[in-house]
């Protein structure tokens, strides 16, 4: 009897050990597929990338792109909204699988994250009040006051031209500061400006100048061997969505032009 008990216990130990080994050797993509959910972080306040429509439904270019990618992976997208800085903190902590929020590829970010193939290309606009004529180039930002979410690409660009950047939470707050004269300018996506003006045509702001080159918008993924297959799978999905015209169609739906083609 004792011998039989020992045999049973040995079998259970081996079985448990094998299960633990299977769990620990699963990479990020395998865990996503097992759960059936791709967790996507975004702001939800930056039209037309991620925002709430008149029925308070989360929508936007990045919402549709992330949903299409999830479908290609054979899972569903689950969206979690938060402030800009918190998106990356959550990605670092493993609370989110990816961030889809019009994220530009920069040298600094590339040191920390792996980026997918770009799925959008975006020029930077310097936006000022309509009656302002002293800012006509990026060089004119020297010693001027601007506002942006503090760790955004736009804040970094403004600082690189000598501007003093005030940190804000969202686009509406930025334009409030601009219209009340508390800042001289703000930097943002050209397409975001056009989308905002379409919804608020009475707003007294204008584009002072545009960047010569477009930034590359992509999805950041944590670096490491655990995430290599996830990065490859998303890249494959993006290439397929480009090839079948999905990205072009979504671009034209939200921006009125094709921003998915370089």
Q: Can you give the pLDDT of all 262 residues of the chain as single tens digits? A: 545 444 444 544 444 544 544 445 789 999 999 999 999 999 999 989 999 999 999 999 999 999 999 999 999 999 999 999 899 999 999 999 999 999 999 999 999 999 999 999 989 999 999 999 999 999 999 999 999 987 788 999 999 999 999 999 888 899 999 999 999 999 998 888 988 888 889 999 999 999 999 999 999 999 999 999 999 999 999 999 999 999 999 999 998 889 998 7
* DSSP H/E element including 250: helix 246-255
Q: CB–CB of 223/110 below 8 Å?
A: no
Q: Quick one: DSSP state of residue 242?
A: H
Which of 216, 215, 229, 227 lies closest to 96 in space, CA to CA?
A: 227
User: Residue 109 — φ and ψ, nearest 5°?
Assistant: -65, -35
Q: What span, in angstroms and rounded, lies between the C-alpha atoms of 39 and 66?
A: 10
For the chain, list the domains and their CATH numbers: 28-121+216-255 (3.40.190.10), 124-212 (3.40.190.10)
* Whole-Å CA distances, 55 to 47, 58, 197, 241: 15, 9, 20, 28
Of residues 120, 128, 124, the one with CA closest to residue 144: 128
pTM: 0.75
């Amino acid at each position: 009897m004792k011998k039989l008990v020992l045999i049973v216990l040995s079998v259970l130990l081996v079985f448990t050990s094998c299960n633990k080994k299977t769990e620990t050797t699963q990479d990020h993509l395998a865990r996503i597929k097992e759960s059936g959910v791709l967790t996507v972080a975004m702001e939800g306040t930056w039209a037309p990338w991620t925002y709430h429509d008149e029925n308070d439904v989360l929508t936007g270019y990045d919402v549709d792109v992330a949903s299409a990618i999830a479908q290609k992976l054979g899972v569903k997208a689950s969206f979690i909204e938060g402030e800009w800085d918190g998106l990356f903190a959550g990605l670092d902590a493993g609370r989110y699988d990816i961030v889809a929020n019009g994220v530009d590829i920069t040298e600094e970010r590339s040191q920390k994250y792996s980026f997918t193939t770009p799925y959008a290309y975006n020029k930077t606009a310097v936006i000022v009040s309509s009656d302002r004529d002293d800012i006509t180039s990026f060089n004119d930002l020297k010693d001027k006051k601007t506002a942006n979410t503090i760790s955004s690409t736009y804040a970094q660009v403004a600082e690189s031209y000598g501007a003093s950047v005030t940190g804000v939470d969202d686009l509406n707050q930025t334009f409030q500061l601009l219209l009340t004269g508390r800042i001289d300018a703000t930097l943002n996506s050209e397409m975001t400006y056009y989308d905002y003006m379409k919804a608020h045509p009475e707003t007294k702001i204008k584009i002072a100048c545009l960047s010569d080159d477009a930034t590359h918008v992509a999805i950041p993924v944590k670096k490491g061997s655990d995430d290599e297959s996830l990065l490859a799978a998303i890249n494959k999905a993006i290439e397929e969505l480009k090839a079948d015209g999905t990205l072009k169609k979504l671009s034209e739906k939200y921006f009125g032009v094709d921003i998915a083609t370089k």
